[in-house]
Amino acid sequence: MADATKIYPRTKDAQTVYLKNVVANPNITVGDYTMYNDFSNDPVDFEKNNVLYHYPINRDRLVIGKFCSIACGAKFLFNSANHTLDSASAYPFPLFFEEWGLDQKDVARSWDNKGDIVIGNDVWIGFEAVILAGVTIGDGAVIGARAVVTKDVPPYTIAGGVPAKLIRKRFDADVISHLLRIKWWDWPKEKIARNIEAIQTGRIAKRRGE
């Protein structure tokens, strides 16, 4: 039976981790069984290498649901990477408060704050994709390799490109509505185990153990 508390879910595979068990930042929340694979860096260092410009002063959050698949090099780019566009200059003067005699408490005025990054459940984020601050990606969505996601992606929608555009829905509206209603990722693991074949084949309406 699957064990969501372990770091390495596959024997002799140190490139894949259950992400929930390697992050410590209280402003990063990851659901059970969400996995991250990295063949370039140690996947245990996800928080350092993949969650960028995530400074405590903003209190912005990265929220990732259950059963997500995150490919090598995916990046989550937070608000401090932005430069404010409301000023006549994009230069971050408040960041260098000592140089310019400004108040340290105004450091966050250096950038535009667009909010949290929220990733739903059962989301697949492809190789080296970049998700920008303020973006919400719905349950079951797929983000293509090296996409740059600047806007929200609806549930069960494939998005790709730079900037990412919506390509197509994965299923028809009735199937999507059904999947969002049953929320299989919230089932007890024993029930998921009994119904893996139905989940994998798409015949989830014929699942057992109701």
Condensed to tens digits (0 to 9), the pLDDT of residues 146-202 reads 999 999 999 999 999 999 999 999 999 999 999 999 999 999 999 999 999 988 887
Beta bridge partners of 35: 18, 69
Domains of the chain, start order = 16-80+113-170 (2.160.10.10), 172-210 (no CATH)
- Of 42, 20, 23, give the one whose Cα is nearest residue 33: 20
Question: Hey, which bits of 31-164 come out as E strands?
Answer: 35-37, 51-52, 62-64, 69-70, 75-77, 117-119, 124-125, 130-132, 136-137, 142-143, 148-149, 157-160
Among residues 8, 29, 81, 83, which one is catalytic? 83
Confidence check: pLDDT of 121 > 70: yes
Q: Tell me what pLDDT residue 209 has.
A: 40
Mean pLDDT of 92-117: 88
Q: Tell me what pLDDT residue 143 has.
A: 98
Specify the pTM: 0.91
Catalytic residue check, 83: yes
Mean pLDDT of 94-100: 89
Q: What are phi and psi of 54, to 5 degrees?
A: -100, 75
Q: What share of the chain is helix, strand, coil (3-state, %, to 5)?
A: 30, 20, 50
Mean pLDDT of 24-45: 97
Q: Tell me what pLDDT residue 201 has.
A: 85
